[in-house]
Amino acid sequence: METELHFNKLDQMTELAEQIKLLGDRTRLIMLALLKEREWCVCDFVEIFEISQPGISQHMRKLKSHKIVKEERRGQWVYYSLNIADKPHIQAVLDHMPGSEEILRMMNKTESDCCSPGNDSCC
Amino acid sequence: METELHFNKLDQMTELAEQIKLLGDRTRLIMLALLKEREWCVCDFVEIFEISQPGISQHMRKLKSHKIVKEERRGQWVYYSLNIADKPHIQAVLDHMPGSEEILRMMNKTESDCCSPGNDSCC
DNA sequence: TTACTATATAAGCATATGCTTATATAGTAA
DNA sequence: TTACTATATAAGCATATGCTTATATAGTAA
């Protein structure tokens, strides 16, 4: 049973360009690099990027709409993770990004782990 | 002798995002895919993309400003070619794009070769 | 229920982007 | 020089983008 719409090659290139455009924003590119290693929740990114919570949510919505990330609600938190197993062009770009530890150090942030289940000092 | 400015890792990620943003436009992405196989001049792209000549020149200027393409003037024509030997993240994306022949077929264009030296019927 | 926390959505705004037309520049050819 | 071709630059415009603040929604905990 075919549930996907049929896309021709031009449509595919258009979708590829759209996905790549989403990577072409410094904030989102770093988000995706961080997501290489583990899932993060919205409030983590609010702390790391110093962007308002709605700002972060909107970035995640864009990434989700193009199936680049997936979300999972657990309790009051929503965790985001990469969904690029079928997107080698995105994997290839992220392969050239530093790991979480280096990124956080560059941004003068510590891994706060703000949304861990046992953490009472969460956002 | 150090002629390059020093960039820290955050600057490098910013530049990476800028380069990727340039790929995130359908027209430029297809241009770069076409350039994988050979050089093209501005008037070729005017015919293929049905965008005004200044529009094409502005795309090439952006790509040139981030060193993604290089130009070579020969006679009255300016030929553009890829300059991504040192940019594996861009190579990786272009590896997932179709070849010139397929692209031109999809766009219902024939390889006009409008700017060949021996071509009198050029733009 | 009420009070709270985390996230999403709506609306607004300043700036960026991709095109256009008009014009300037660079080279060719008589 | 003059006439021509190819390309670049300038200016303008409609739309997209990345943020903000205000508010709605979803879940937790008493």
Which residue among B8, B16, B24 sits closest to A20, beta carbon to beta carbon? B24
pLDDT of residue B8: 83
User: Is A11 an 8 Å CB contact of chain B?
Assistant: no
Chain D bases having any atom below 7 Å from a protein CB:
5-11, 17-23, 26-28
CB–CB contact B22 A21 (8 Å): no
CB–CB contact B92 A97 (8 Å): no
Helix (H, G, I), strand (E, B) or coil at A109: coil
State the Cα–Cα distance between residues B47 and B37, nearest whole angstrom. Answer: 18
Chain B's closest residue to A29, CA to CA, is B17
- Residue A8 pLDDT grade (very low, low, confident, very high; cuts 50, 70, 90): confident
Look-up: residue for tokens 């943003």? B21
Whether A41 contacts A115, CB under 8 Å? yes
Whole-model pTM: value is: 0.90
Pull the structure tokens for residue B102. 């397929």
pLDDT mean across residues, chain A: 89
Q: What are phi and psi of B116, to 5 degrees?
A: -65, 145
Own/partner pairs, B43-46, CB within 8 angstroms, 24+ separation: B43/B77, B43/B114, B43/B115, B43/B122, B43/B123, B44/B112, B44/B113, B44/B114, B44/B115, B46/B123
Average pLDDT estimate for B62-85: 97
Instruction: Provide, rounded to the nearest whole percent, the portion of chain B with pLDDT above 70.
Output: 85
Q: How many CB atoms lie within 10 A of CB B53?
A: 12
Which residue among B20, B97, B103 sits closest to A24, beta carbon to beta carbon? B20
Report pLDDT digits (tens) over B74-98: 999 999 999 999 999 999 999 999 9
| Strand D contact with B121 (CB < 7 A) | no
- Residue A114 pLDDT grade (very low, low, confident, very high; cuts 50, 70, 90): low
pLDDT of residue B113: 58
pLDDT of residue B110: 80
Fold for A37-102, please state it. Arc Repressor Mutant, subunit A (1.10.10)
Instruction: Provide, rounded to the nearest whole percent, the portion of chain B with pLDDT above 90.
Output: 78
Half-sphere exposure of A90 (CA within 13 A, CB side): 28
Amino acid letter, B47: E
The yes-or-no verdict on residue A2 having pLDDT over 70 is: no
User: Is B10-106 CATH 2.40.50.100?
Assistant: no
Whether A47 contacts A123, CB under 8 Å? yes
Say which range, A2-16, A81-95, B106-120, has the weakest mean pLDDT. B106-120
Look-up: residue for tokens 């690099």? A33
Average pLDDT estimate for B33-39: 98
Which residue among B10, B13, B23 sits closest to A20, beta carbon to beta carbon? B23
